[in-house]
Structure 1
Amino acid sequence: MTLSCDVAIIGAGTAGMSAYRAARVHTDKVLLIEAAHYGTTCARVGCMPSKLLIAAAEAAQAVREAHRFGVLAETPRIDGRAVMQRVRSERDRFVGFVLETVHGWPEATRVFGRARFTGPGVLEVDGQRIEARTVVVATGSRPFVPAGWRERLGARLLVNDDVFDWIDLPKSLAVVGAGVIGLELALALHKLGVRVRLFARGERVGPLTDPELQALARQLFADDLPLTLQAGGLEPVLDGDEVLLGGERFEALLCTAGRQANLDGLGLEALALPRDAQGHPLIDRHTGQWGDAPVFIAGDVTNDRPLLHEASDAGRIAGDNAARWPAVHRRPRRAPLAIVFSEPQIAIAGASHAELVATGRAFDTGRVSFADQGRSRVMLVNRGGLHVYAERGSGRLLGAEMVGPAAEHLGHLLAWSVQRGDTVQQMLDCPFYHPVVEEGLRTALRQLSSDLHLPPPPIETCLDCDTAAEVGN
């Protein structure tokens, strides 16, 4: 028996669920196909469980730092089993919400099994033939593991998916890969009393591209965490029940060396779909369409900003256009925003420094250090810096990078300004309370305004004409 539909969606994660909702606005003939489990990477093994672990780490660190405020507290005793019990319990709660949503959709629109193309518009799902007018590929990604490591290390090799099923915390752990996932988990586990060493394959730690801020980040994180840079060509070995790496012994190795798209096994060789030199799908991110075929793609599988809000937006665009096809519409995308929940936090809003340099765009940079910023110093989080980038001539904000306190909040303000097309003066005309961390942003904007050599606004329209220097501005 052959099933027919207007839109078949392969993958029931964030992008797939968003595509399903968007397609169902136009047609009831939608099939959502899932091979493993319903739910999102974010809820199961990503954003939410990692933040639960980080929250526990921050609580432990607050106890350790209390004496700096004159509050005397005992050295924290970490109950690893209790920490992981809360992580698993709350993780399961978040996953439950997602499952409730999917199971609330009509059963006739859900197919469980592994899908593969056998030809244009034709899928096979565990022997079931499905003919679809259009297909959305939203199969996500999985952790990348270097060749031979699994065979060599066996159960002592872990990926981030494994961490959130722990019953207890390990005593020691090597973390290989200093990107977002590796940095967040290494810092959290270190604060929870695990002996951790973070191995970076190159010089970079975290996603910052501004050379000054990247150097500052390396210094800040090296002060807090055992860190080995330029550790390319690592060859971990299993010695008894321990992993030997870099002259140290660890209970296990956590590989956070990136992720790879789940495109294998889909039978894509049956379709003539374009890819770039690295094998990534060539798609229009404003339509979600893969080449000019009735195939759309969204989420982490695209290797384009693997973040939940981006996957949700891309899924909505892909699902909407798949149902409309061939009347494909181009949709706007939000200003980029990326946040790392490290300590200090990292944020990139709008265009990154590297992106601006690559385009050859003329821009100036406003800088501020948080070392003596008033509110940051009050809270003893006065570490890091913020750089804001604005276009020469127009004074329009193009982007920002920062490592420092409240980056998750400042990042939002900056991304909103980029998306609105705010100028530096328009941002300065907005209210800044005192004393708050946001005053650091005002300092950077004032420097940027001066460097841009823009004519001052008329006095009757300028709301930032005072020259008084507030304490810790």
Structure 2
Amino acid sequence: MTTLKTKVAIIGAGSAGMRAYREVTKTTDDVLLIEDGPYGTTCARVGCMPSKLLIAAAEAAHAGSHTSPMGVTYDAPKIDGAAVMQRVQSERDRFVGFVEETVEGWPEQHRIRARATFETDTVLSLSDGRRVEAEAIIIATGSRSNILPFFENFGDRLIINDDVFSWDTLPGSVAVFGAGVIGLELGQALHRLGVRVSLFGRDNLVGPLSDPEVLAEANRLFTEEFDFHPHTDVQNHRRTDNGVAVDLVTEAGTQTLEYDYALIATGRRPNVDKLGLDNTTLDLDPRGVPIFDVQTGQCGTAPIFIAGDVNNIIPLLHEAADEGMTAGHNATHFPEIRRFVKSAPISVVFSDPQIMMVGETHRALTERDADFVTGAVDWSDQGRARVMGVNKGLLRVYGDRITGRFLGAEMIGPRAEHLAHLLAWSLQSRLTVSEMLERPFYHPVIEEGLRTALRILNANMQMGAMPPPRCIDCGPGA
């Protein structure tokens, strides 16, 4: 049996693994990047980028639907499903190609195409019969769709988001299970592209939202637009001759619904079950994920580090990249370990209206019994939003009653992706709400709605009125 020796072995060549590789190679060329699947990140291949391409097509199809109050009307859009999917796949392949070119451009002796499993904390067994002995190992194996057993009854008409992006054309109908980020984005996009869609959720949840008022507004908006069931009892999942069928149980009785496909979007699970972690000294959580330090990426006291979606915390590309950097640095310099500050939490759902969350959520603040107050703006009356005909949604911002510091926000409404960045930067800069209000707000812009919410928050914290412009020539106390 051939044994390869290396300073750092990285399992997985996705966003986290690639970033870890770059960090390791700043210090040493003694590294092995092990991947048993195709190169190309989840984001580029089946996640962020192809989904946004589908959403872009949906937005184009939907663009004229809200313009009649402005005196502008359009005929119903003609949607060429084959052309939609051709562009999705063409552009997706372009993004994936960039990733593949990057990885394949790295030295061949650094890359191994095989499956790796742990024999010990520092020894890996490869599916090609070889072994790897490493001074430190990074786990960056990502995640995959979580399919509950009863969904298997849908047979070959069960699909996940990966499958959507391989369609040659758009189907006639799809039942979507799960109102998280993936289910909401794809379900709404397919609806706007002319597919008959039913979205089945649980517990009235929408995406990652936790603020009861924002959540209620989101439920209202999406239920008004398409066949969204925020809390349902769906039984008897089954394959039929022409597709799939389910029984929807309501107070009015049981209704049988049929669709071409069942899209399962009920969360993701970390890829840890085939790593042989039982052969290590690591302590594992109930899902089999190693217990680790979020600021170092280190698993226990072992020379094993974890990064990206596999750690089962925040499955976002920028988080995976940051964690890959941390894991790469500490694996290279082990046993010297450094703690790295995490970026301000930020998440966006590219639905319409968009959803965003920044900092501590309403649920997190409530659970830790924080002394916080809120400010809010209803987008229905916000000036620029009304001008553009996108005046839907609600923004709620949270602040510390004692210190006046901004703590977080949840929102459904227009241009949420941009407001999220302003708030995340403010949070990471540790600004108080008063200091945020000292920053400029142009007129007329969506951001003025944010200012309204911050003014209300500032008043509710009893921090006084909005501060006046600072006087350059005034003396102390003037």
Q: Who is 1:362 aligned against?
A: 371
Match for 2:395 among 378, 386, 391? Answer: 386
Q: Who is 1:201 aligned against?
A: 202
Q: Who is 1:437 aligned against?
A: 446
Q: Who is 2:290 aligned against?
A: 281
Distance 1:324 1:75, change over 3 A: same
Q: Distance in 2 between matches of 1:326 and 1:233?
A: 52
Describe how 1:5-84 pairs up with structure 2 within 5 A.
Answer: 5-84=6-85
The code of the aligned residue for 1:427 comes to: M
Q: Who is 2:418 aligned against?
A: 409
Structure 2: gaps of 5 or more residues: 249-255, 473-478
Note the C-alpha offset of 1:22.
Answer: 0.7
Note the C-alpha offset of 1:457.
Answer: 7.8
Note the C-alpha offset of 1:264.
Answer: 1.2
Distance 1:257 1:118, change over 3 A: same
Q: Distance in 2 between matches of 1:328 and 1:304?
A: 21
Q: Who is 1:333 aligned against?
A: 342
The code of the aligned residue for 2:122 comes to: G
The code of the aligned residue for 1:388 comes to: V
Q: Who is 1:294 aligned against?
A: 303
Residue by residue over 1:211-256, the C-alpha shift from the partner in whole angstroms, topping out at 9 and shown as x without a partner, is 1111111011101120123235643111212211232100010000
Residue by residue over 1:310-356, the C-alpha shift from the partner in whole angstroms, topping out at 9 and shown as x without a partner, is 00100110111000100010001100000000010000011111111
Q: How many residues align?
A: 462
Q: Who is 1:306 aligned against?
A: 315
Distance 1:444 1:315, change over 3 A: same
Q: Distance in 1 between matches of 2:164 and 2:234?
A: 24
The code of the aligned residue for 2:109 comes to: A
Q: Is the 8 A contact 1:393 1:454 kept in 2?
A: no
The code of the aligned residue for 2:305 comes to: F
TM-score (norm 1): 0.95
Q: Distance in 1 between matches of 2:416 and 2:162?
A: 26
Moved more, 85-94 or 222-231: 222-231
Q: Who is 1:321 aligned against?
A: 330
The code of the aligned residue for 1:368 comes to: V
The code of the aligned residue for 2:382 comes to: Q
Match for 2:269 among 260, 277, 281? Answer: 260
Distance 1:122 1:452, change over 3 A: same
Q: Distance in 1 between matches of 2:265 and 2:468?
A: 54
Q: Who is 1:137 aligned against?
A: 139
Q: Is the 8 A contact 1:244 1:250 kept in 2?
A: yes
Q: Distance in 2 between matches of 1:173 and 1:81?
A: 17
Q: Is the 8 A contact 1:34 1:112 kept in 2?
A: yes
Q: Who is 1:175 aligned against?
A: 176
The code of the aligned residue for 2:136 comes to: T
Residue by residue over 1:22-70, the C-alpha shift from the partner in whole angstroms, topping out at 9 and shown as x without a partner, is 1111211110000111110000000000000000000000133343322
Q: Distance in 2 between matches of 1:233 and 1:270?
A: 41
Distance 1:77 1:268, change over 3 A: same
Q: Secondary structure at the match of 1:100?
A: helix
Q: Is the 8 A contact 1:429 1:462 kept in 2?
A: no
Residue by residue over 1:94-126, the C-alpha shift from the partner in whole angstroms, topping out at 9 and shown as x without a partner, is 000001110110000000011111122111112
